[in-house]
Amino acid sequence: MPDIEIVSKKNSEKRRPPKKRKKMSPLESFLSGILPWRGDTVGEAVRKVVLLVSIIVLFTAGFIMLDFYVLRDQRNNAEVQSYAEQRERSASDDVVTILMPDDDDDSSANSGSDNDNNKNVEVLAEYLPFYEQNNDFVGWIELYPYIQMPVAQTTDNEYYLKHTFDKGPNENGTIFADCRGKIAPGVMPGNTLLYGHNLITNNYFQPLSHYRKEGMEFLKRNYLIKFDTLYERNKYFVFAVFLTNTNEQHGEVFDYWNTVYFRTKSQFDNYIAEVLDRSYFYTGVDLEYGDEILTLSTCDFSMFSDMRLVVMARKVRDDESLELDTSKFIDNSGFDENNNVRRKMFDAYYKSYACEWAGRKWDPAYIKDFKEAQ
């Protein structure tokens, strides 16, 4: 009787070869590698969910960076270019008369008024389109070709920090004049302060950083700034460029922004002296009580997050040439032979560079009849 091998059903099933999975298409194979799939273990499913979340976060961050560094750049450049083109189209030496709201306290006393709330005003024709677009338009700032922008002014200094010139909400804001210094026909503050964001896109007031980064060579090519109001044309000589602190925890704060009108010669002299103490350069531009000052202010991130970069200029007088002798410009940046900083800074700076301020060195003749406070 032949031997008979008895194999249990249980053992027979163990030796049965496993079923082959259905062959996946390339797309299914790819998807099953990143998406939870039938037959996945709990661990595999969790791993794929984490991977998916990471991919979504990565793409979202990438889009935000693309929008911030590229798309916003393109939008801002297009906006700035459109303003320059608009002004070029309307370029004219003509003066036109328009009806404007009368902000005077006693409007009925104004001759030429059509009613109690309006009056006839002469404006520069080339800037009329900007005023028609936005009645907050007060002027045009130009540091050619870097800055060419309309300037707005309203009743507070917060609105245009986050609104464009066409009043659309935007974190980039637009260039605007300090509301405390009224700009009107025949009226200018002693110190016209203009504010603009320092954008990574090289727009608005970012180009002012060239004065700090490129130094004297940039200044020699760009010492003349144009700021036309709606009513008259103006040019200004740069006489100071400085960095200042706005955080009292870092030391002295020079609140340059809080002086819009000069009530006395002493106030004017002391303010300008503080500015010159801090300046990277001296251009030899003389100043006297009664001169109109233009101040351009923007954020600076070169050292602390709360810094301000400020460029100040004096209005060109009627009898002056528009040319300055750049060979007489003086570089006041850096440190002296004792390793003390030449321009006045603040405690946190002195501590960082283990230095002190070298002291006032500029020529007192820069300010007419200047007498240093004792």
Per-residue pLDDT of the chain (374 residues; tens, 9 = 90+): 555 555 555 555 555 555 555 666 776 676 676 777 777 787 787 787 777 787 787 777 666 655 554 445 555 567 778 898 999 999 999 999 999 988 764 444 444 444 568 899 999 999 999 999 999 999 999 999 999 999 999 999 999 999 999 999 988 899 999 999 999 999 999 999 999 998 765 678 999 999 999 999 999 999 999 999 999 999 999 999 999 999 999 999 999 999 999 999 999 999 999 999 999 999 999 999 999 999 999 999 888 878 999 999 999 999 999 999 999 999 999 999 999 999 999 999 999 999 999 999 999 999 999 987 64
**CA 285 to mean position of chain CA atoms:** 26
> What pTM does this model have?
0.79
Report CA-CA distances (Å) from 93 to 127, 232, 363. Answer: 10, 11, 40
Strand partners, 308: 244, 299
Q: What is the pLDDT of residue 109?
A: 41
Q: Are 281 and 239 in contact (CB under 8 A)?
A: no
**8 Å CB contact between 342 and 242:** no
Q: Please provide the DSSP assignment of 18-34 as one string.
A: PPPPPPPPHHHHHHHHH
User: What does the pLDDT read at residue 15?
Assistant: 57
Angle among Cα 207, 211, 214 to the nearest 5 degrees reads 100
φ, ψ for residue 55, nearest 5 deg: -65, -45
Q: What is the dihedral of CA 235, 156, 245, 294, to 10 degrees?
A: 10
What pLDDT is recorded for position 11?
53
Question: How high is the pLDDT of residue 304?
Answer: 81
pLDDT (0 to 100) of residue 290: 97
The predicted pLDDT at position 102 comes to: 82
Q: How far is CA 255 from CA 181, 271, 293, 341, 346, in A?
A: 16, 10, 16, 21, 13
> Residue 69 in contact with residue 200, Cβ under 8 Å?
yes
Cα separation, 345 vs 277, whole angstroms: 9
User: Phi and psi of 342, rounded to 5°?
Assistant: -75, -35
Instruction: Give the domain ranges of the chain.
Output: 135-366
C-alpha to C-alpha distance for 321 and 326, rounded to whole angstroms: 13
CATH 2.40.260.10 fits 135-366, yes or no: yes
Which secondary-structure segment (H or E) carries 12? helix 9-14
